[in-house]
Every structure is written in C-alpha cells, then in structure tokens.
Amino acid sequence: MPSIGQWLGVDKAVKLYRIVRHNGGIIGSLKKVYRMDELKIGTLVGVDKAGNKYYENNEYFHGRN
C-alpha cells in the first residue's frame, strides 16, 4: 500500500531534485535538456578511448543497458 508521501508526490519531487542536482543545477539541467532532450542520472560504468562516458541506471530499462 502506498504511503502518504507517495500519494502526495513527495517521492517524485525528491527524485526531480536529485536529477537536477546531478546534472549541474537548474542552469546546467536546462542546457542539457536543450541539447539532449532528456535528463538522466546513473553510475559511471566506463569510458572508451574516444572519451565517451557510459552510465548505468536500472530505473530506465530499455531492453539493454
């Protein structure tokens, strides 16, 4: 059964705060949304020789990580 915090959407507000903080604050998040159309958060799992960073977050499931 959902708690009162889940009914009021407090968990969504906390998740939004974490994502905005992880992406560089409000200005950094707006820049990233303008360039990439999405904000995501995850743990760094690797960097290839071209400098591309690969992140993993199992909350965003697309059939592959």
| 10-55: pLDDT as tens digits | 888 998 999 999 999 999 999 999 998 888 888 889 999 999 988 8
Would 18 be classed as within a structural domain?
yes
Would 63 be classed as within a structural domain?
no
Q: 30: domain range? A: 4-56
- Give helix then strand counts, H and E, for the chain: 3, 2
Tokens of 52: 């591309």
Tally of domains within the chain: 1
pLDDT tens readout for residues 26-35: 999 999 999 9
- Which secondary structure element, helix H or strand E, spans residue 34, and what is its range? helix 25-36
Tokens of 57: 């977050």
Q: pTM, whole model, 2 decimals?
A: 0.67
47: Cβ contacts below 8 Å, ≥ 6 apart: 53, 54
